[in-house]
Amino acid sequence: MIGQFYFALVSRRGPSALLIAIAVLGTYANSLDNGFQYDDRHSIVENHHLRSLDNVAHYFTHPEYFSRDADKAMYRPLLLVTFALNYAWGQYEVGSYHLVNIALHLGCALLVWGLLRRLQQPPCMSLFGALFFAVHPIASEPVNYISSRSELLAAFGVLAGLVLYLRAEERASSVYYAVSVLCFAVGLLSKSIALVLPVWIVLWQWQRGQIAASWTRLWPYVLIAAGYVLIIRSFLVKAVLADPVRSWPEQIGTQVKALVYYSMLFFAPFRLNVDHGFTVSALDDVVVYLGGLAIGSLFLLLGGLSRMGLLWILAALLPTLVVPLNVLVNEHRLYLPLVGLVIALLGMRSLQKMHGLRWGGPVVLLLLALLTIERNQIWHDEISLWGDAADKNTSSVRPQIYLGNAARHLGQSRRAEYHYRRALQLEAEHPVVHANLGNVYQDLQQYDLAIETFSGLLADHPEMTDVHYSLGRAYQFAGQSEQAQAQYHVLPDSSPHRRLADNNLGTIHEGAGRIDSALYYYGRAGEFAQAQNNRRRLLGGQTHKLRQMLDAGQLRPAEELARLLVAASGDQRDPRFMLAVALFLQRRYAESIVENQRLLTDYPNFDEGLLQLALVQETSGQLSQALATYQILSKRAQSLPMQQTAKERMRVLKERMP
């Protein structure tokens, strides 16, 4: 019954497209309230570059805008544009980010459907393949993990470019061809994996026996690819040649073995995980030989579209073979290869002739969808995500670190301590775990333990300069302000904690009554909100104190405080005004006039400043100058009482003048 209903839909394109949309939306409906996850924090939540659309042009010229931390720079400008639009739409309302990811996945599924039809697959098989792609659990990581939108955008660019290329061939249309090239550029501006498109085109033409004819049409793709590689060349040189995370033999051996592991994830997606228990292998590892033998055997056994699908998978994984990455295997890397898997499966004639496909196909799709729905729930928050990883990979430190971080973020310090100690049982000298454990001691107000932990960490790892900030905080909370200042001062200017350290230096100096130094460090912290608030609060309190001193007739102390505030914050109007007043009340008229004139140069419409200048001029006998100032005030004054005061003073002054 289910099979008959399924195959009845495929004769018309509208119902088929609708069924794909229903499958995607139904499968991922429970993912909308899933939270931001690990790398989302530095690349989205704490990335201030995304909070203004004025930065859009800079995304294309400043790779460091990719993250809060400049050392995590990547060239993915179009991805940043989508994040900035998301922020403009709903700031950090996470559902809007998930909606975009789901929409992109739906677009990719529809493009897979269109691609299969272009490859002359029967309507029923084209729909089955698109639904297989749409609901397969492998897609759950790029859809749920917001930072992995780069994978979706790049895949969309590749698939759209490929479908349009095939359509351009069918119709001999230069328009479709030009838009295909544009889609390729869109994919590359999202992630480098889009470089696979011209390779896929070559493989398609090779499968048709027309590879020679394809070269003349490939030059725009090659030109764009070359330009892109030129832009990211510094990243490539560092990752591949200058500072690779592993040797070439280890990289190739590990990734050949990974191909076998990925095959297991494709066909048995029961143990998906954000931290797979996978190890580095050398080229002489027997598992590597067996993996290479298995791939070679498949290539010889398969033919037609199935062989091309296999080659598409290998081509899509080629960047991870060439470029050594910190994480050995990742599920989101299989998103584009999943398209190749669909092609390879549907290219098997025996599959299309299976008698049980009418009922078995929908059952398989339903089971895959249920697995994906279950996987979505794992992505709900960091506790569920990394708890699942810890259960499946009990020997890994990484899940314990993230579980500790999540617990600490929730204010559960004892739980965080448990996870960090569990991590140290697995790897006793892990520096990040020791740093995090020191932060937990600080949260628990165990400052002596925190100081001991951070000091020991810096002794063993002096390159971890950010620990100076943590040690400085521990000293500060322990009441050892001199030691805290010493740690804050050695923190590099490039550190992401530099502004926090400057703010803390400001609070130390403020507590010691050194107002000028406190204002200096608050100002040095720049746009850091807490420092700006501290600076405004301190200035407001000192300005209020200054008024009280003037009212009490404490003129010399008031002058000293005013000069201090002016020197520390020359842009503040009120301290400069009260300095002029303090000088006037001490009958130092010439100095008061100079300060008033400086004030009015920056604040020409400051009514009280004009009135004060006129009063000083009048009192010091400069009657004509005072009359001119009163006249200016009577015309510029923003309030009627001030205008009336200026006119009354003008009348009195004219009576005094000869």
Same domain, residue pair 462 and 508: yes
pLDDT at residue 191, rounded to an integer: 95
Q: What is the pLDDT of residue 323?
A: 85
Measure Cα distances from 578 to 515, 562, 563, 582, 617 in Å.
17, 7, 9, 6, 17
Average pLDDT over residues 217-231: 92
Domain match, 252 and 123 both: yes
Q: Which helix (H) or strand (E) holds 105?
A: helix 94-118
Kindly state the greatest CA–CA separation across the chain: 119
Distance CA(104)–CA(377), nearest Å, equals 20
pLDDT at 570: 67
Residue 636 pLDDT level (bands cut at 50, 70, 90): confident
Is residue 9 domain-resident? no
Q: Is position 253 within any domain?
A: yes
* Shared-domain flag, residues 475 and 622: no
How far is residue 172's CA from residue 170's CA, in Å, rounded to a whole number?
Answer: 6
Per-residue pLDDT, averaged over 459-477, amounts to 95
pLDDT confidence bin for 605, thresholds 50/70/90: confident
Predicted confidence at residue 479, as pLDDT, reads 94
Residue 269 sits in the same domain as residue 174:
yes
**Of the residues 508, 532, 556, the one at which a domain ends:** 532
- Over residues 583-588, mean pLDDT: 91
For 249-305, the pLDDT digits (tens) are: 888 888 888 888 999 999 989 889 999 988 888 888 888 888 888 888 887 888 788
Judge whether 54 lies within some domain.
no
* Residue 114 in this model has a pLDDT that exceeds 90: yes
Mean local confidence (pLDDT), 37-41: 90
| pLDDT digit string, tens, across residues 19-35 | 999 999 999 999 999 99
Runs of H (alpha helix) within 393-497? 398-409, 413-426, 431-443, 447-460, 467-477, 481-490
Q: What does the alpha-carbon distance between residue 512 and residue 411 come to, in Å, rounded to a whole number?
A: 31
Residues 608, 460 within the same domain: no
For range 492-504, the mean pLDDT: 91
Give the pLDDT score at 213: 62
Residue 71 forms part of a structural domain = no
327 vs 154, more confident: 154
510: CB partners within 8 A, 6+ apart: 518, 534, 538
pLDDT at 335 over 90: yes
**pLDDT per residue over 53-105, tens digit each?**
999 999 999 999 999 888 889 999 999 999 999 999 999 999 999 999 999 99
Residue at which a domain ends, from 469, 503, 532: 532
User: Which class for 222: exposed (0-12), middle (13-18), buried (19 or more C-beta within 10 A)?
Assistant: exposed
CA distance 507 to 593: 35
Would you say residue 322 has pLDDT above 60? yes
Q: What pLDDT was estimated at residue 621?
A: 87
Q: What is the mean predicted confidence (pLDDT) over 606-625?
A: 88
Mean of pLDDT values over 375-388: 95
Who wins on pLDDT, 183 or 607? 183
Average pLDDT, whole number, for the chain?
90
pLDDT of residue 7: 46
Does residue 48 form part of some domain? Answer: no
Residues 360 and 390 in one domain: no
Query: In the chain, how many domains are there?
Result: 3
Is the pLDDT assigned to residue 198 strictly greater than 60? yes
Residue 285: both structure tokens together: 């590892």
pLDDT reported for residue 1: 42
Which of 109-118, 267-276, 412-421 bottoms out in mean pLDDT, i.e. has the lowest?
267-276
d(CA 316, CA 432) in angstroms, rounded, equals 33
**Integer Rg of the chain from CA:** 34
Residue showing tokens 């990581």: 141
Say what percent of the chain tops pLDDT 70. Answer: 96
Over residues 225-256, the pLDDT tens digits come to 999 999 998 888 888 878 888 888 888 888 88
Strand stretches in 235-299, DSSP E: none
Mean pLDDT within 621-640: 86
Q: Is the pLDDT at 2 greater than 50, yes or no?
A: no
The pLDDT score that the predictor gives to residue 167 is 93
At residue 353, the pLDDT reads 63
CA separation (Å) from 109 to 272, 351, 626?
21, 21, 79
Tens of pLDDT, residue by residue over 559-568, are: 898 888 888 7
In terms of Cβ atoms closer than 10 Å to its own Cβ (0-12, 13-18, 19+), residue 319 is middle
Statement: residue 10 has pLDDT above 80? no
Domain span including residue 23:
15-36+92-376
Same structural domain, 355 and 415: no
Mean pLDDT along residues 441-445: 95
In a domain, 67, yes or no: no
pLDDT score recorded for residue 564: 87
The percentage of the chain sitting over the pLDDT mark of 90, rounded to a whole number, equals 58
Q: Model pTM?
A: 0.81
Sign of CA dihedral 206, 212, 218, 219: positive
Task: Determine the pLDDT at residue 177.
Answer: 92
Last residue of a domain, one of 318, 341, 376: 376
The per-residue pLDDT for 410 is 92
360 with 402, same domain: the answer is: no
- Residues 318 and 437 occupy one common structural domain: no
Q: Are 66 and 46 in contact (CB under 8 A)?
A: no
Residue 575 included in any domain? no
Q: What is the CATH number of the domain that holds 433?
A: 1.25.40.10
How confident is the model over 329-350, as a mean pLDDT? 90
Specify whether 360 is located in the same domain as 343: yes
Q: What is the pLDDT of residue 655?
A: 77
Residues 416, 453: one domain?
A: yes
Tell me which H or E stretch contains 524. helix 515-524
**Is the pLDDT assigned to residue 9 strictly greater than 50?**
no
Please state at what angle helix 447-460 crosses helix 431-443, rounded to 10 degrees. 160
Same domain, 652 and 627: yes
As a whole number, mean pLDDT of residues 172-180 equals 90
**115 vs 327, which has greater pLDDT?**
115
Kindly state the DSSP code that residue 233 receives in the 8-state scheme. H
**How many Å separate Cα 54 from the centre of its chain?**
17
**To which residue do tokens 């078995």 refer?**
360
Q: Is residue 561 part of a domain?
A: no
